[in-house]
């Protein structure tokens, strides 16, 4: 049984492709159950910068083919493009990749901690559907602990940007002073809340929260300041704000070209900045072609991420050391788990032979007392234990010895 990982990320594909195979929270259950029927246990990590599948099985080729077939059936229009963007890792490479993800080393914003919560949510969604048991559960529990350790023992997360704060920083770099700007935040989920907090930290106080569920928008507005409006107000509000940051979980476009064009006509030439950090994208890309409208999406955060990355490289090297140690520890546990049945088989075989020989001997020595028999039992057990000590220790240290041991002791043959 080995761990496999298949996916795409900001490192291998543009936003246009990433968003096309992203899974919303509502879509995850169906996808998990579909894969459970074909490959068994699986976890899908789908965020703004990656969609990855983790699964365990005996044959990695079958897992890889099953996952690529799943993507081809679900997203047939992207099959050819996906083939050049997908990466596939097996066992130690897959474990290391997951540990790097939870530690923030594989993020667009190096060291950001938001991914840790996203991986936890992905794992929980899989558990809910009965798709994360046994080995894969152990892998994800360990990966989450590695992520926590990386942030606890290094400065990788100190003063780091999240995607949400990077969006605000990008807006500041584009417009300059934004403290007097009126900002509309579309989507009051975790990302939207982080945007509001980042704006407040930047001195922005004119904020309006828009969400399909008005109560959630009101809760965020009450906590962080600003006002809350219903989703139906979106069209009218576009004509009154300077910046829009959109971060919904909608599978469909939220800001259409027609909607923004209507709003632009009412703005008397006032510029509008739209920052779209949703995947799939909330804003129609055509919005960026409208006069007076600047549209930025996830790929446009790359410049901010690179500046941040330079500051975090030294900390990242320390995290890499932690990951190497944790991968080694986990692989050692994995290997030991693989040899446990073989060691038990060896011990059972030795015990069977011991009992056979003791039985033959005692039949020839009926005069022995109970104490004598007990002494012989203790002696024979001690001899077997000492004989097996070094072979078992060697197997634990190097699992490749297991197959040789099975042949030497004829463990897979018939007992004589």
Point out the domain boundary residue: 287, 305, 323: 305
The total number of structural domains in the chain stands at 3
Q: Dihedral of CA 179/295/162/246: which sign?
A: positive
Q: How far apart are CA 404 and CA 339, in angstroms?
A: 12
Q: What angle do CA 261, 266, 268 make, to 5 degrees?
A: 110
Question: CATH number of the domain that 102 lies in?
Answer: 3.30.460.30
Does residue 144 sit in the same domain as residue 212? no
Q: Are residues 56 and 19 in the same domain?
A: yes
Q: What is the pLDDT of residue 323?
A: 96
Is 327 inside any structural domain?
Answer: no
Looking at the structure, tell me whether residues 168 and 153 fall in a common domain: no
| 204 and 294 part of one domain | yes
The pLDDT, as a whole number, for residue 264 is 86
Range of the domain at 404: 355-416
Q: Which is it for the CA torsion 233, 239, 240, 241, positive or negative? A: positive
Catalytic residues: 48
Q: For residue 201, with 0-12 CB atoms within 10 Å meaning exposed, 13-18 middle and 19 or more buried, which class applies?
A: exposed
Residue 240's Cβ-side half-sphere holds a number of Cα atoms within 13 Å equal to 10
Question: In whole angstroms, what is the distance from residue 415 CA to residue 153 CA?
Answer: 54
Residue 317 falls inside a structural domain = no
Q: What is the pLDDT along the chain (416 residues), one digit of tens a residue?
A: 889 999 999 999 988 889 888 998 889 999 999 999 889 999 999 998 899 999 999 899 999 999 999 998 888 877 777 888 999 999 999 999 999 999 999 988 888 888 999 999 999 999 999 999 989 999 999 999 999 999 999 988 876 667 888 888 888 888 888 999 999 999 988 888 888 888 898 899 899 999 999 999 999 899 888 899 999 989 889 988 989 999 998 888 999 999 999 988 888 778 899 999 888 899 999 999 999 898 988 888 777 777 666 667 888 889 999 999 999 999 888 877 777 788 888 888 888 889 999 999 999 998 989 888 999 999 999 999 999 898 888 887 777 788 888 888 888 766 55
- Do 155 and 175 have their domain in common? no
Q: Is residue 336 part of a domain?
A: no
Same domain, yes or no: 12 and 101: yes
Cα-flanking dihedrals φ and ψ of residue 274, to 5°? Answer: -115, 120
One domain, residues 37 and 62:
yes
- Tell me, yes or no, whether 120 and 175 share the same domain: no
Task: Indicate whether 187 belongs to any domain.
Answer: yes
Q: The domain spanning residue 189 has which CATH number?
A: 3.40.50.720
> Which of 131, 160, 189 corresponds to the end of one domain?
160
User: In this structure, is residue 310 part of a structural domain?
Assistant: no
Q: Name the domain boundary from 105, 131, 160.
A: 160
Q: Are residues 32 and 147 in the same domain?
A: yes
User: Does residue 292 share a domain with residue 189?
Assistant: yes
Whether residue 324 is contained in a domain is answered as no
Shared-domain flag, residues 271 and 290: yes
Rounded-to-integer distance, Cα 180 and Cα 242, Å: 9
- The CA distance from 39 to 37, in Å, is 6
pTM of the model: 0.73
In a domain, 339, yes or no: no
Q: Do 151 and 197 lie in a common domain? A: no
């Amino acid at each position: 049984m080995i761990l496999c990982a298949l996916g795409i990320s900001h490192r291998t594909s543009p936003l246009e492709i990433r968003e096309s195979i992203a899974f919303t929270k509502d879509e995850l259950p169906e996808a998990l159950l579909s894969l459970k029927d074909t490959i068994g246990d699986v976890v899908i990590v789908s965020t703004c910068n990656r969609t990855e599948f983790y699964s365990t099985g005996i044959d990695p080729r079958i897992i890889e083919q099953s996952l690529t077939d799943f993507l081809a059936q679900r997203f047939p229009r992207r099959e050819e493009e996906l083939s050049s963007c997908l990466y596939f890792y097996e066992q130690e490479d897959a474990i290391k990749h997951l540990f790097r993800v939870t530690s923030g080393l594989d993020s667009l914003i190096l060291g950001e901690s938001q991914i840790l919560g996203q991986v936890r949510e992905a794992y929980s969604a899989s558990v809910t559907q009965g798709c994360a048991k046994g080995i894969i559960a152990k892998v994800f529990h360990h990966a989450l602990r590695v992520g926590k350790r990386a942030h606890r023992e290094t400065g990788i997360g100190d003063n780091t940007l999240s995607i949400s704060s990077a969006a605000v920083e990008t807006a500041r770099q584009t417009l300059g002073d934004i403290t007097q700007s009126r900002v509309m935040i579309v989507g009051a989920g975790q990302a939207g809340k982080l945007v509001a907090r980042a704006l407040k930290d930047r001195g922005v106080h004119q904020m309006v929260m828009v969400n399909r569920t008005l109560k959630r928008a009101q809760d965020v507005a009450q906590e962080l300041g600003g006002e809350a409006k219903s989703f139906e107000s979106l069209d009218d509000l576009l004509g009154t704000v300077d910046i829009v940051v959109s971060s919904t979980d909608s599978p469909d476009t939220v800001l259409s070209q027609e909607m923004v064009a209507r709003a632009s006509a009412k703005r008397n030439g006032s510029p509008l900045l739209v920052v779209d950090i949703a995947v799939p994208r909330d804003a129609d890309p055509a919005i960026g072609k409208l006069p007076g409208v600047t549209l930025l999406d996830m790929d446009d955060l790359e410049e901010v991420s690179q500046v941040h990355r330079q500051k975090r490289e030294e900390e990242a090297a320390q995290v890499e050391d932690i990951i190497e140690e944790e991968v080694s520890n986990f692989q050692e546990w994995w290997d030991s788990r693989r040899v446990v049945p073989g060691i038990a088989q060896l011990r059972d075989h030795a015990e069977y032979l011991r009992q056979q020989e003791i039985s033959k001997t005692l039949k020839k020595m009926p005069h022995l007392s109970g104490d004598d028999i007990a002494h012989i039992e203790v002696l024979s057990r001690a001899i077997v234990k000492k004989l097996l000590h070094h072979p078992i220790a060697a197997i634990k240290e190097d699992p490749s010895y297991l197959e040789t041991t099975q042949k030497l002791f004829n463990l897979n043959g018939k007992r004589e």
